[in-house]
């Protein structure tokens, strides 16, 4: 049985990814910082205030030396605010913890327990390929994830042989949280969670995987969902 470490397993996308992997008979080691769902779902919980070192140790403990065919990090969130806003400092720290800290720790675990030909998948954002002055904390964290992905890929010796690291760059995912936050929005270009989950699973199984270090934009329109390097 193949094994995946899934970080952000209780979020909207995380639940879809977990379901897709379990249907494909993978063993799923789930991690999240949420405490809103039932505590008996087998998900390992981490503190929202953890340092990178603390997250790294928590992930290693959850894995317990298991051989990992994939490490998938779909943890993250969104916060607005410009550099002039007094609340931006706290928002930026939250974004860094959720997206960047979790990616650093996930990558370390993959370097130790990832298997030959495995996949490390990190979640960036399409908006963060350019300036994001109105959501500077979010853009900073996500662009840093892109940098981590490309930096790891630049030295293949740091990850298992024939393994890949890829970052997906969604625009707006069709999550319950986004629907609640934007009830009147046009959702025709929002990406269905199952579309992304199926693509992540396919790449984890080795099908049509992008070149290591790729930043893959997730684009949804009337033609469906496309993955553009």
Q: In terms of residue numbers, what domain contains 26?
A: 3-228
Which entry of 59, 113, 138, 227 is annotated as an active-site residue? 138
**CATH code where residue 179 lies:** 3.40.50.720
The Cα 227–Cα 192 span in angstroms is 13
Residue-level pLDDT at 152: 98
- Which pLDDT tens digit goes with each residue over 136-147? 999 999 999 999
Q: Which residue in 93, 223, 227 sits closest to 171, CA to CA?
A: 227
- Which pLDDT tens digit goes with each residue over 48-103? 999 999 999 999 999 998 999 999 999 999 999 999 999 999 999 999 999 999 99
Residue-level pLDDT at 169: 98
Residue 101 structure tokens: 């800290």
Beta bridge partners of 32: 45
Domains: count for the chain? 1
> Is pLDDT of 227 > 90?
yes
The band of 212, judged by pLDDT with boundaries at 50, 70 and 90, is: very high
Q: Which residue in 225, 148, 228 sits closest to 193, CA to CA?
A: 225
The Cα 95–Cα 102 span in angstroms is 10
Is 59 noted as a catalytic residue in this protein? no
């Amino acid at each position: 049985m193949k094994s995946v470490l899934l970080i952000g397993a209780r979020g909207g996308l995380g639940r879809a990814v977990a379901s897709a992997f379990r249907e494909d008979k993978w063993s799923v080691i789930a991690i999240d910082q949420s405490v809103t769902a039932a505590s008996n779902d087998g998900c390992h919980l981490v503190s929202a205030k953890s340092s990178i070192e603390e997250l790294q140790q928590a992930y290693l403990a959850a894995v317990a030396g298991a051989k990992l065919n994939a490490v998938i990090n779909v943890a993250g969130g969104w916060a607005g605010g410009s550099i002039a806003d007094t609340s931006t400092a706290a928002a930026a720290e939250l974004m860094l913890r959720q997206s960047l800290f979790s990616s650093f720790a996930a990558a370390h675990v993959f370097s130790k327990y990832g298997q030959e030909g495995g996949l490390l998948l990190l979640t960036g954002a399409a908006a963060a390929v350019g300036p994001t002055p109105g959501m500077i904390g979010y853009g900073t964290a996500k662009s840093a994830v892109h940098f981590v992905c490309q930096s790891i890929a630049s030295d293949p010796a740091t990850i298992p042989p024939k393994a890949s690291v890829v970052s997906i760059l969604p625009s707006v995912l069709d999550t319950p949280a986004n629907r609640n936050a934007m009830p009147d929005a046009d959702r025709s270009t929002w990406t269905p969670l199952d579309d992304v989950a199926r693509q992540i699973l396919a790449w984890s199984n080795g099908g049509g995987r992008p070149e290591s270090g790729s930043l893959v934009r997730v684009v949804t329109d009337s033609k469906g969902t496309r993955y553009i390097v």
